[in-house]
Amino acid sequence: MYSPPDVIPSEPTDGAPPAVRRPGPGRPSRRGSAARSSVPAAVIVACLALLLGAAPGAAQDVEGAPGFRDVIGLSEVDDAAISPNGLAVAYEVQSTDWEQNRFDSEIWLARRGSPTVQLTRTEDGSSRGARWSPDGRWIAFLADRGDDGASQLYAIRPDGGEAQPLTAVEGGVEAFGWGPYGLELAVALEEPVSERTRRRRERYGQWHVEDGDYRMTHLWRLDLRDALRTENGVTRPADTADAARPVAGSGGGTGDAPLRRLTGGREYTVGDFAFGPRGERLAFDHRPDPSASSYSRQDLSVLDLESGQLRPLVERPGSDGGPVWSPDGEWILFTTADGDSAYYENPELARVPAGGGAVEVLTGSFDGSPSAVDWLPDGRGVRFTAWERTRRRLYRLDPSSGEIAAVADSPRVVRSVSYSKDGQQVAFIGERRRRFPEVYRTEADSWSPSALTSMTGQVRGWPVGRQEVVSWESEDGTTVEGVVIYPPDFDRTRRHPLVVDIHGGPSSIDYPSLATQYDSYVYPLTQWLARGAVVLMPNYRGSIGYGQDFRELNVRNLGVGDSWDVMSGVQHLIDEGVVHPDSMVAMGWSQGGYISAFLTTTTDRFRAISVGAGISDWMTYYVNTDIHPFTRHYLGATPWEDPEIYRKTSPISYVTDASTPTLIQHGENDARVPIPNAYELYQGLQDVGVETRLVVYEGFGHGISDPKELLAANWHNWQWVARWLWGEDVELPLDGSDADAEENRP
């Protein structure tokens, strides 16, 4: 369990995204995310360490090695938000609740010179997305405290006390954002089930029309003063049933109801949004429907809150969203991506006059994938973060000259950046090579970060492998990098077993940090390292952080070029005398699972392979996935236009050549990589006589997000590798008076 430091030494920060989205369940996996830093990864892994050369089934403890539950139980921090005056930082701590089989997030508060305190305690639920009111008097957040599990909006004083419920709406709050004076908030609510739909279900049961039965998300205005009014001393949360309902274009509205509807209709659904600096306008992005595929048709509009006039701001092919107002209200900064190749092209930061006009791309000379943080208080600069190879830096951009400069070099990875109102104080989540992610704060000008948390203390005394970034030449001459983790007892004079751990994406990245060893989702890297294995994590072509040209190298070359990069990295370590060519395994999730499936049908170099939520047949994937454009963008055609490119890049096309024992892991309800991909590979391997096992995690989608199932998935990988790499049969422990001891000793 996380224990905070006793006293916070010095200062903190603010600068939140335009809107805070509803929190998702559990820990998302890094394996398929855009980058491990942008989306926090699951801290999962097992770990009993068997010494290299031990007899089958004989287990020996490696000194200081943690257990399965120890690693899954690690707490982690996320989402730093500094107060407007820079004197306090709110952040999330996520911990493991084994009894309820869930991950719990709560909000903590660090004040300069004061003890760190836990601000929220949501029984049977989580609290997330803390954002300070502009006057610093309130912290608003989302929490699922009701029986229905829906996230409602709450406000709490920084000094503590009971959180005040602000909403009690059907289906919960999707997102929220503060107005500039701290008197109102904009909230995004998904439309409730219509009366017509209710009646239809009563008569005809449960069914839906694909690409037709959508529930749109729209914006409402919440008056904080009305929302905090009490009846008999009890706050009465705002409900849409009592709300005034003017809609954009109607000329505003009347009434003193806490909630007032701002947008509506079936023409679009709302995404991110932000109040203008004087509160009279609201900018938001929207797309035709809520499907994941429609992000490539996202536009920007501005709503005048007094007149109700809705004015289109950016209407063009591609994705334009994430509005951020300049301090003077003259400009709107946003992220833009071309519609024809959005999945493999770096996005750009652009600005447009708030009153309408030509779009000006600001990062055209920057060969990276920028993520906007905020404007400088004087409006003369923009701050953003981006990957630069295996570092994630904070940058400053001058919109007038286009000049871009890195703000600082430390720590190695910077994310969740938040500035105080005057821009002089900064808080962020940072990662150093030999530290767990921590909440840091610093003065912006001096940039001397100090940690406000002590998460690294959780792993003190655990064995740590040395990490380094290595590079090699791929089959087509491309230079590829990857992270190599050496076992704690690495012996340069002998060859070691090799575990190849392939990230998802493909626009993701692996980088050296202490969390990399322990933050490995369903792959028990910790105990494999403790047993003497070397781990290779290749940043194959398409990975983020290496420029646009590198991201395009697997366009119409998926799987083929990716496997070149993986296998050339493996050969590099063999040539260096680091690993044994006959003692190698490979694995990955999502896109990493696809590459693993491609390897299992195209090479016999590995003793075993584990395919997690991977694509086996691009045509099967194309017609089942929730992001159809992904396949069209990367393969350059539909399967009806170019069946040959779908055949060439599909692992199932080569299944008759397969010989590697393959474990397949998949979520039952996966919409991103639907489970028919798993069944197709499983049946194909069976038909050609390859030893295979399919494990379906019931009730889960693209990621496994509950502790017990994560524990099981780690065990399944541990068993598979133990059998095929070391010839050991490991039973899943089911009984025993000391459950923790049993689970830690395969």
For residue 22, is pLDDT > 60?
no
Contact yes or no for 83/136 (Cβ under 8 A): yes
Asked if the structure places residue 445 within a domain, the reply is: no
For residue 210, is pLDDT > 90?
no
pLDDT for 534-548, tens place per residue?
999 999 999 999 999
Residue with tokens 């047949």: 617
Q: 681 in helix, strand or coil?
A: helix
Asked if the structure places residue 47 within a domain, the reply is: no
Asked if the structure places residue 575 within a domain, the reply is: yes
**pLDDT of res. 66:** 82
The confidence band for 8, taking pLDDT boundaries of 50, 70 and 90, is very low
**pLDDT of res. 233:** 61
SS (H, E, C) 200-244: HHHHHCCCCCCCCCCCCEEEEEEEHHHHCCEECCEECCECHHHCE
What is the longest distance spanned by two Cα atoms in the chain?
80
Contact yes or no for 216/290 (Cβ under 8 A): yes
The confidence band for 70, taking pLDDT boundaries of 50, 70 and 90, is confident
For residue 725, CA distances in Å to 131, 533, 580 come to 49, 11, 11
| Whether the bond into 411 is cis, omega within 30 of 0 | yes
Asked if the structure places residue 408 within a domain, the reply is: no
The confidence band for 227, taking pLDDT boundaries of 50, 70 and 90, is confident
Mean pLDDT computed over 66-76: 88
Mean pLDDT computed over 686-702: 98
Q: Cα(710)–Cα(697) distance, rounded to whole angstroms?
A: 9
pLDDT for 121-151, tens place per residue?
999 999 999 999 999 999 999 999 988 889 9
Which domain does 636 fall in, by range?
Answer: 468-743
- Angle formed at CA 480 by CA 645 and CA 397, multiple of 5 degrees: 100
pTM exceeds 0.75: yes
Contact yes or no for 212/258 (Cβ under 8 A): no
Mean pLDDT computed over 44-56: 27
Identify which has the larger pLDDT, 119 or 34.
Answer: 119
Lowest-confidence segment of 46-50, 174-178, 693-697 by average pLDDT:
46-50
Asked if the structure places residue 13 within a domain, the reply is: no
Lay out the sheet containing 608-612: strands in order across.
467-473, 479-485, 534-539, 496-502, 579-589, 608-612, 662-667, 692-697
Residue 149's CB: how many other CB atoms inside 10 A?
A: 11
pLDDT for 583-631, tens place per residue?
999 999 999 999 999 999 999 999 999 999 999 999 999 999 999 999 9
For residue 58, is pLDDT > 70?
no
| CATH at 609 | 3.40.50.1820
Number of domains in the chain: 1
Mean pLDDT of the chain: 87
Lowest-confidence segment of 15-24, 81-90, 328-337, 408-417 by average pLDDT:
15-24
pLDDT for 231-271, tens place per residue?
666 667 888 766 654 454 444 444 456 899 999 988 999 99
For residue 43, is pLDDT > 70?
no
Using a pLDDT cut of 90, give the percent of the chain over it.
Answer: 75
pLDDT for 497-515, tens place per residue?
999 999 999 999 999 998 8
Q: Cα(288)–Cα(156) distance, rounded to whole angstroms?
A: 36
Mean pLDDT computed over 423-445: 95
C-alpha of 635 from chain center: 25
What is the DSSP track for 104-149?
EEEEEEEEBTS--EE----TTS-EEEEEE-TTSS-EEEEE--STT-
Q: Cα(542)–Cα(555) distance, rounded to whole angstroms?
A: 8
**pLDDT of res. 242:** 61
DSSP state of 692: E
Contact yes or no for 509/35 (Cβ under 8 A): yes
Lay out the sheet containing 259-261: strands in order across.
20-21, 173-178, 184-190, 217-223, 259-261
Asked if the structure places residue 63 within a domain, the reply is: no
Q: Cα(329)–Cα(422) distance, rounded to whole angstroms?
A: 17
Asked if the structure places residue 31 within a domain, the reply is: no
Asked if the structure places residue 632 within a domain, the reply is: yes
